[in-house]
Every structure is written in structure tokens, then in C-alpha cells.
């Protein structure tokens, strides 16, 4: 069953916050896919890591058209993909990577939606490359 994130198409901006817990070193690549058949294309791409949490919050929109106002409803059917690399220098560490979706024009005043997460344990010599997917659905 795909992870569906239901949002209000007439509401405020749609956002995702990448949250990582556990003493792990994480880098990630976030992509927003437009999948209107037959075309599939990346409309937004971000990279980040868990060194600082304040820069892991992203507005979901077609980044190539940043100069134009974009309707939140256009996110309907889009796919959010998160590909990560995880390492640790500790013996065995439990970690969680979470995509927290919300709506709100102001970062400090968000209406929470659904979360998509993965929870795993990593050992010192391992390197993980987990991925997460979510499909955005207008109410």
C-alpha cells in the first residue's frame, strides 16, 4: 500500500520536513516527481544532511517556475522520493528517518498532515541507503 499524503488543494503551501533521530550521519536527496502520464519528470530536487535541522524544511513546488505563483493543487498525484545514505561510528545505533508533511505559509504555523518514516538499526561497519516514497493526494 503506497504512502498517501492527503492535503487540502485550496489550502496553504505544502511542506515536508526531513527529521532524523539517532546518532547517525545522514545525507539525503529529495525529489518531487510529476508523473502525469506519459511524462515523468523531477520538478524539484533538494539535497541535505542531518547536521543542522533548520535547513531540512522544504516547500513542495515546481522549482523551475519559482518566479510564478503555483497552486498547491498542482501537487496532486506528485511523488515525493527521499534517498539517503546512513553511517555511524558507534557500535550499533537505532535511527529513524521521517518525512513529516504539513501545510502552512508560515513555517512556525503548520497544519500537520501524515508522516512517512523508516526505522532501522545500523552497525559501525555498515552503510545504509534507505529510500522513502509518498504520493500526494488532494482531498
Partner 1 sequence: MKRSVLFIWCALLGYEVMSQDFEKSWGKYEVDTLLLDFVVPDVPAFKALGTDPSNILRPSDVQKFAIAFDPFFDGSNAVIPDNFAVDFAPWKLLSGGWTLESYRENWIKRVAYNSSFSIGTLKDNESGEFKAALGYRVKIAGKNADLLTSEYINEVYVKQATETELAKWAYDQWRKMKDLSMIEVSNLDSAALAEREQYFEDNLNLFAYLKDKKLTLKDYNKSDSLKAEFKKSNYEFVNVSKMISDFNNSGWNATRTDLAVAMVGVSADSLVKNIQYANLNLWVTQSLRLGKKGQLLIGGNLNVPDAGNAEFTLSARAYVGNNKFRAYSEYQFINQNDVNEPSALINLGAEFNFISNFWFQFYAGVEDVLGESGVSQFRSSLNLKYSFNETAK
- Residues 32-71 vs partner 1: string with x where CB under 8 A? -x-x----x------x-xxxxx------------------
DSSP structural state of residue 119: E
Q: Is residue 93 a contact residue for partner 1 (CB under 8 A)?
A: yes
* Lookup result for grid cell 543542522: 52
- Bridge partners for 96 per DSSP: 21, 119
Minimum CB separation of residue 40 from partner 1 in Å reads 5
Distance CA 32, CA 85 (A): 18
Would you say 20 or 100 has its CB closer to partner 1? 20
Q: Segment near partner 1 (CB under 8 A), from 8-16, 19-27, 60-68, 103-111? A: 19-27
* Contact between 28 and partner 1 per CB under 8 A: yes
- Using rule CB under 8 A, residue 75 touches partner 1: no
Q: For residues 77 and 62, what is the distance between their CA atoms, to the nearest angstrom?
A: 13
Among 14, 16, 24, 99, interactor with partner 1 by CB under 8 A:
24
Q: Which residues contact 73 (CB under 8 A, 6 or more apart)?
A: 9, 10, 138
Residue 18's CB is within 10 A of a number of other CB atoms, namely 23
Q: With beta carbons less than 8 A apart as the criterion, state whether 32 and 80 touch.
A: yes
What is the binding site for partner 1 (CB under 8 A)?
A: 2-3, 20-29, 31, 33, 35, 40, 47, 49-53, 79, 81, 83-85, 87-89, 91-96, 124-131, 133-135
Amino acid at each position: 500500500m503506497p504512502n498517501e499524503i492527503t492535503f487540502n488543494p485550496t489550502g496553504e503551501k505544502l511542506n515536508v520536513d526531513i527529521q532524523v533521530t539517532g546518532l547517525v550521519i545522514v545525507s539525503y536527496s529529495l525529489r518531487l516527481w510529476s508523473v502525469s502520464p506519459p511524462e515523468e519528470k523531477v520538478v524539484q530536487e533538494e539535497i541535505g544532511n542531518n547536521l543542522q535541522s533548520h535547513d531540512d524544511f522544504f516547500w513542495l513546488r515546481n522549482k523551475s517556475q519559482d518566479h510564478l505563483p503555483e497552486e498547491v493543487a498542482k501537487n496532486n498525484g506528485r511523488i515525493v522520493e527521499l534517498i539517503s545514505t546512513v553511517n555511524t561510528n558507534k557500535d550499533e545505533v537505532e535511527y529513524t528517518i521521517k518525512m513529516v508533511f504539513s501545510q502552512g505559509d508560515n513555517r512556525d504555523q503548520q497544519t500537520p498532515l501524515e508522516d512517512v518514516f523508516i526505522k532501522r538499526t545500523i552497525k559501525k561497519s555498515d552503510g545504509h541507503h534507505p529510500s522513502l516514497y509518498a504520493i500526494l493526494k488532494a482531498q
